[in-house]
Amino acid sequence: MDTTLQDPLVGQLLDGRYRVDARIAVGGMATVYRAVDIRLDRVLALKVMHPSLATDATFVERFIREAKSVARLSHPNVVGVFDQGADGAYVYLAMEYVAGCTLRDVLRERGALQPRAALDILEPVLAALGAAHRAGFVHRDMKPENVLIGDDGRVKVADFGLVRAVGSATQTTGAVLGTVSYLAPEQIEHGTADTRADVYACGVVLYEMLTGGKPHTGDTPAQVLYRHLNTDVPAPSAAVPGLALELDELVAGATARNADVRPHDAVDLLARTREARAALSDEQLDLVPPQARREDAAGPAAPSEDPTSVIPRVLPEHTSRLTPPPPVAVPAVHPTPGLPPAPGPGRAPLLSRGPLLVVAAVLLILGIGTGVWYINSGQFTRVPAVLGQTEAEATKRLADAGLDVGTTDRAFSEVYERGTVMDTDPAPGERIRGNGSVKLTLSRGPEVVKVPNLRGKPLAEAKKLLEQEGLATGVVTNTFSRSVPQGAVIGSDPEPGTERTPDSAVALVVSKGAPIDVPDVTGESVADATSTLQEAGLTVRVATERIDSPEDAGTIAAQSLAEGSRAAKGDTITLTVSKGPKMVAVPDVVGATVDEAREELEGAGFEVKVEKSFPYLGNTVAEQSVDGGSTAAEGSTITITIKGL
């Protein structure tokens, strides 16, 4: 049955501009429709927040943040946002319409994909997220449902509805927004999400594309959350034998439970993905999975297999108890005052003791319940939906419902036009005593703040100042500066004085201090090398393992930053100590031709020098500087002599 026929918005004209033609998909926060902009005569996608959420100002602000965030992104792999607005109880986004399907549709139809196809989808997804990350935003809800594949083969990332600024306060006290199957451990345990949370979700999506199934499953969301926290994502090759080691390593790196071990953003993961692809042969890329796991094998799929939802956040002290709940025990029946106790050991059943008492008790309860219903039904009404209406329109609608307007406040809003209702107390739909008063909050329109001058401020202080101004800290990059102290801000993007809306991300450039030219300490003793580097302002670490080296045993064989490299004050240089040269057996080449001797000696790891005594007409080795059968340091020079006739 076509459920779109039952949708009240289908066939309607929203906001006097958008004709709703058909319902495309239903998610946890909104419904997406195919619509036509009658002003511009173009097809687009209309994302309309569920009316039950539209009464919550917090959800509305989060929903509309998608329009603000994506509007700043101009990338071919990001679904564009054209417009946003509200029409009564309907809050909407007008977006680019992509004719095609979602990655979820592909996985449901085909199961596991060949590695080449999986990487062809993953790379544009990471390119889109990389643009968002470098612009200072985190998606926070990556999953196959949000990857659109157009009929022309283009891949686009959609649904930035949970997007937040990088570095902004993403902690919550009791709940996390997201999708259970793709939540990173730190989102579950701490309620925090930065660019590495998107990296984790992309790793899960890659696993799903390669194997046809999710890495962590369970009968309840609690079981899935527990496995995210306590179990590593398995290697895809365990489910699909023959998958290349590089793919296992790519998934393992992206889904590391320790966020510090993961690639720091999608740009980094994209680079690693391309390196992995380059290392694979055509045979490895075109491996056909022997048996694709199908998510819908048990029956038709629901409209959204992985809806975005509000998930209770697991506090650290509760993680050990995050297990499927035990079977619910039937509670003991406590006697109701005024009624006989329930039968128990040594008691006769209630009915046998007094049927009249039972009948009387039931009649009494029914009588009391009926009385309460009768009294309440005439004294309470529900607050009508007036969000988005003018003060006059809202006042009239409240009056028609028998309610009065109480006090009126005003507040800034990025969603509602100036002068329209942005919130009510009680909220729309809540019960209120008849002829009661409803408090209205009217929109003052968007608030604009100026980017402060942060030059010379320590990074921690700069972040605090941005927070005080209502702005968010975006991407932080570091560079050398001879004029700005190490750890202080050199500049910002946007520049100081630029007007921005609240919660906008401000990217910061932080000084690494004046550059230090790294000296060469190879061949020195550990003590001398350490002293030299520390005097230059660097920190020294000595590797535990030693290596074979032409340098004398106990001296420095290698340093992590070569001579002439630039480092910041306090940077760590790792020194590796030499075990001395590796001793190699010297081949006996006397009597061999020059070419034969050179090939054999160089193959053993030696340098070769040829000497000839005059007059020389022969081409046969008469002597060698190190006798054959003895040993010499690898890399050392062996001299061969050709004597004359």
Active site residues: 141
How far apart, in whole angstroms, are the C-alpha atoms of residue 86 and residue 421? Answer: 11
What would the two tokens of residue 149 be?
A: 């594949």
Confirm if 184 and 92 have CB atoms less than 8 A apart: no
- Report CA torsion sign: 387, 391, 392, 394: positive
| Phi, psi torsion values for 624, nearest 5 degrees | -135, 145
How far apart, in whole angstroms, are the C-alpha atoms of residue 143 and residue 102? Answer: 10
Closest CA to 500 of 562, 554, 452, 461: 452
- Per residue, the 3-state secondary structure of 536-589, as one string, reads CCCEEEECCCCECCCCCCCEEEEECCCCCCEECCCCEEEEEEECCCCEEECCCC
What would the two tokens of residue 375 be?
A: 């009294």
Helices assigned H by DSSP within 378-413 = 391-400
- Cβ burial, residue 413 (10 Å; 0-12/13-18/19+): buried
Identify whether 326 is preceded by a cis peptide bond (ω within 30 of 0): no
Confirm if 53 and 21 have CB atoms less than 8 A apart: no
How far apart, in whole angstroms, are the C-alpha atoms of residue 184 and residue 233? Answer: 11
Specify the residue for token string 């074979």.
548
Confirm if 247 and 272 have CB atoms less than 8 A apart: no
How far apart, in whole angstroms, are the C-alpha atoms of residue 409 and residue 328? Answer: 47
How far apart, in whole angstroms, are the C-alpha atoms of residue 262 and residue 48? Answer: 35
How far apart, in whole angstroms, are the C-alpha atoms of residue 555 and residue 542? Answer: 11
- Per residue, the 3-state secondary structure of 315-382, as one string, reads CHHHHHHCCCCCCCCCCCCCCCCCCCCCCCCCCCCHHHHCHHHHHHHHHHHHHHHHHHHHHHHCCEEE
Q: How many helices (H) and strands (E) does the chain have?
A: 17, 33
